[in-house]
Amino acid sequence: MEFTVQLQTYRQRVEQALDHYLPATGTPPPRLHAAMRYSLEAGGKRLRPVLLLASADLFNAPSSAAEAAAVAIECVHTYSLIHDDLPCMDNDDLRRGRPTAHKQFDEATALLAGDALLTHAFWLLSRYSSQPTIVAGLLAELGHAAGSQQLIGGQMEDLLAEKKSGVTADELRSIHLKKTAAMISAALAMGGIVAQARPADVETLRLAGQHLGLAFQIVDDILDATADTATLGKTAGKDAKADKTTYVKLYGLDASRKLAREESDAALAALARLPGDTTFLTTLVRDMAARTN
Amino acid sequence: MEFTVQLQTYRQRVEQALDHYLPATGTPPPRLHAAMRYSLEAGGKRLRPVLLLASADLFNAPSSAAEAAAVAIECVHTYSLIHDDLPCMDNDDLRRGRPTAHKQFDEATALLAGDALLTHAFWLLSRYSSQPTIVAGLLAELGHAAGSQQLIGGQMEDLLAEKKSGVTADELRSIHLKKTAAMISAALAMGGIVAQARPADVETLRLAGQHLGLAFQIVDDILDATADTATLGKTAGKDAKADKTTYVKLYGLDASRKLAREESDAALAALARLPGDTTFLTTLVRDMAARTN
């Protein structure tokens, strides 16, 4: 199947699974569930759940087996965006071309919707209870990646870095590894766990995800500096305006592009060690490195 | 063993387990982990983890088997307090006699510390991975109780109720069932799950917890109206000041005391159907109904 068609197919599966695995519209309290769906349904690339589904397919997991886990990882990603956008954090009004959750609803509702998406993500993993070793594996993976030493820790380090001058290359790499790469790494690993892949293959998936996550974040920094708001669907030039340390600020555009390429190549090298047909994932890595939004 | 001694012993086990199962002081990023520990170490009654440990003991669970789950439920409770205290929610400066997390640190750190405690709670359940059916059971229980239709849903309903006049008795009961009783019910049920109790006994634990939770919340409303700030360790008279609908406002003091007694009695009736020595739990229910803070 052609890459773009396959990507579209994965994204459609993600959209359908999101609708299926989220509490229905109107579930009491309706305002809370409306806010959860508002943020989830804002769209976006669905990178993490697509990676999870594609990873599970490498090991011939039964179709649909990976979908609850895919929804879980998108719920965690979306919660982190809702909370990051709050006034006490990045204070952003626009996300994916629409008002952020606290602008559309209010701060309290946005806070609770974020909390609820995070909780729902973990609860969803209990859907695998007929195969409890899968539940335990997924929980360990997601709990670690989303936790205080990875996703949330990266967000904290990012906030602290904004307040000081002179963030080093090591510090920036640590922030990006935690804030972005950890969840992308977990997405690929969780696909393997759902499919009951060998631990060595799950570890290779983790490694591929780490490199892909770094590449993704460096490209994000490049796009923030070079693209316009309409193309991005979020406020462009935000980093420079906030005098934020990014790969572009630290290394310049050319060297940043080179670093992004190196990380993509490392991700591809890891993927090459996996069983199954990795064509989709390798094309996705290349596509992601060349993306314009 | 005398009740107060046994309660003290349980609380000491909780304190030791909290220290053991939380990332060490100084774990990067130190500010985030300091805020997590600051809020957890503020103390409080430790009602939920004590209930969990005592429930597991009914079924002769191996000593220490229930401790990670007990820490998990206290982490969820503490996260909910941190987020409830934020300016966009209840905007409270004092909690357990100390500055709230966002006053001691700042709003962003408090938000992230809450997120991190919630995530850590779920991750902790993966510590039971050598018995994956326990992991799956605990995850389903905690995920449901802490989710958008229970704990977080109750908080949302509570916020919406503050903005309207004329909250009905049914609405108030729904808020308290979700916001308070769900997690107390889960605490007792999780003790049974850790101990691999029969499903019928886990269901009885849930029921006992629901009644205990309602009794607890009604007594809370009574204390807010009758006790002073020093005794409570949190701002007293807050409900009346905010013109908040409480059991006291809706029913008056005498009828509220009667309702609290009825719920306590229902909890005791459920506990009487359980195996093992329920003396500690029944004394705790009676003690809780007579508490002054």
DSSP character string of B101-112: HHHHS-HHHHHH
* Right CATH for B3-286 from 3.30.830.10, 1.10.600.10, 2.30.30.90, 2.30.40.10: 1.10.600.10
Asked if B133 is an interface residue toward chain A (Cβ–Cβ < 8 A), one would say yes
Q: What average pLDDT does range A68-88 have in this prediction?
A: 97
Cβ contact A147–B88 (<8 Å): no
8 Å CB contact of A27 and B149 = yes
Reply yes or no on whether the pLDDT at A77 is more than 80: yes
**Angle at Cα A266 formed by Cα A261 and Cα A269, nearest 5°?**
125
Q: How confident is the model at residue B289 (pLDDT cuts 50, 70, 90)?
A: confident
d(CA B238, CA A19): 40
Tell me the chain A residues in contact with residue B89 when contact means C-beta distances shorter than 8 Å: 108, 111
Nearest Cα of chain A lies from the Cα of B234 at a distance, in angstroms, of 22
Name every chain A residue with its beta carbon within 8 A of the beta carbon of B171.
none
Residue A192's closest CA among A274, A262, A92, A112?
A274
Q: Is the dihedral of CA B272, B273, B274, B277 positive or negative?
A: positive
Which of A31, A106, A136 faces B126 most closely, judged by CB atoms?
A: A136
CA-nearest residue to A133 within chain B is B132
Residue type, B281: L
When pLDDT is cut at 50, 70 and 90, the band that residue B234 belongs to is: low
A155/B112 touch (CB, cutoff 8 Å), yes or no:
yes
Averaged confidence pLDDT in chain A: 93
Give residue A164's pLDDT.
80
pLDDT of residue A57: 97
Among the listed residues B160, B150, B69, the one whose alpha carbon sits nearest the alpha carbon of residue A116: B150
* Least confident span in A92-96, A279-283, B169-173: A92-96
Model pLDDT, residue A14: 97
Section B92-104 average pLDDT: 92
Q: Which residue from B minimizes the CA distance to A129? A: B136
Residue B212 has pLDDT above 90, yes or no: yes
CATH homologous superfamily for A3-289? Farnesyl Diphosphate Synthase (1.10.600.10)
Task: Identify the band that residue A44 occupies on the pLDDT scale cut at 50, 70 and 90.
Answer: confident
Q: What is the pLDDT of residue A32?
A: 98
| Cα B8 → chain centroid | 18
> What is the identity of the amino acid at A160?
L
pLDDT band at A245 (very low <50, low <70, confident <90, very high): confident
* Residue B88 to residue B85: CA distance in whole angstroms: 8
- Check CB contact under 8 Å for A152 and B109: no
Mutate to test the interface with A, among B91, B122, B133, B151 (most CBs of A within 10 A): B122
What pLDDT score does B235 carry? 67
Tell me the chain A residues in contact with residue B84 when contact means C-beta distances shorter than 8 Å: none
pLDDT tier, A97 (very low <50, low <70, confident <90, very high otherwise) = confident
> Average pLDDT, stretch B66-92?
97
3-state secondary structure of B98: strand
Please, which residues have CB within 8 angstroms of residue A56's CB and are 6 or more apart in sequence?
A65, A66, A69, A191, A192, A194, A195
Identify all chain B residues contacting A108, using CB atoms and an 8 Å cutoff.
Answer: 88-89, 159
Tell whether B119 is within 8 A of chain A (Cβ). yes
Residue among B31, B108, B147 whose CB faces A123 most closely: B147
User: Chain A interface, mutation test: which of B106, B156, B159, B193, most A Cβ atoms within 10 Å?
Assistant: B156
pLDDT of residue A271: 98
> Residue A111: which of A72, B74, A119, B71 has the closest Cα?
A119
- Cross-chain Cβ contact B147/A118 below 8 Å: no
**Per-residue pLDDT tens over the stretch A136-183:** 999 999 999 999 999 999 999 999 998 787 899 999 999 999 999 999
In this predicted structure, the answer to whether residue B199 has a pLDDT above a threshold of 80 is: yes
List the single residue in B111, B123, B157 with the smallest CB-CB distance to A147: B123
Please indicate whether, in this complex, the C-beta atoms of A157 and B29 are within 8 angstroms of each other. yes
pLDDT band at B190 (very low <50, low <70, confident <90, very high): very high
Residue B182 with chain A: CB contacts under 8 Å:
none
pLDDT attached to residue B100:
96
Segment among A1-5, A100-104, B115-119, B235-239 with least mean pLDDT:
B235-239
**Quick one: pLDDT at residue B44?**
86
Confidence of residue A86 (pLDDT cuts 50, 70, 90): very high
User: Is the pLDDT reported for residue A228 higher than 80?
Assistant: no
For residue B230, what pLDDT is reported? 66
Residue B40's pLDDT band (cuts 50, 70, 90):
very high
pLDDT above 90 for B43: no
Chain B closest-CA separation from residue A144 CA (Å): 7
- Does residue B145 surpass a pLDDT of 80? yes
Q: Which residues contact B269 (CB under 8 A, 6 or more apart)?
A: none
A13 and A67 Cβ atoms separated by less than 8 Å: yes
Interface test with A, best of B139, B142, B150 (most A CBs within 10 A): B139
A19 has pLDDT over 90: yes
Question: Per-residue confidence at B238, pLDDT binned at 50, 70, 90?
Answer: confident
Q: What is the mean pLDDT of residues A185-206?
A: 98
Task: For chains A and B, count residue pairs whose Cβ atoms are closer than 8 Å.
Answer: 166
Return residues 135-194 of B near A (CB < 8 Å): 135-137, 139-140, 142-144, 146-149, 152-153, 155-157, 159-160
Quote the pLDDT of residue B233: 64
Q: Which residues of B touch A115 (CB under 8 A)?
A: 79, 83, 114-115, 118, 152
- As a whole number, the mean pLDDT across chain B is 93
What stretches of chain A show up as alpha helix (H) in DSSP?
3-21, 30-40, 47-58, 67-85, 101-104, 107-125, 132-145, 151-162, 169-176, 182-194, 199-226, 229-232, 238-241, 247-251, 253-271, 279-289
- Cross-chain residue pair B157–A108, CB shorter than 8 Å: no
A137 vs B contacts (CB less than 8 Å): 129
Which of B:74-93 have CB within 8 Å of A? 79, 83, 86, 88-89
Among candidates B109, B125, B147 on the partner chain, residue whose Cβ is nearest the Cβ of A120: B147
pLDDT band for position A235 (50/70/90)? low
Q: Do A126 and B139 touch (CB under 8 A)?
A: yes
What is the rounded CA–CA span in Å between residue B90 and residue A195? 44
Instruction: Residue B284: count other Cβ atoms within 10 Å of its Cβ.
Output: 22
Distance CA B118, CA B74 (A): 10
Q: Quick one: CA torsion of B42, B157, B211, A115, rounded to 10 degrees?
A: -50
Q: Pick B156's closest partner by Cβ from A112, A120, A132.
A: A112
pLDDT of residue A283: 97
Q: Where are the domains of chain B?
A: 3-286
Q: Does A109 touch chain B (CB under 8 A)?
A: yes
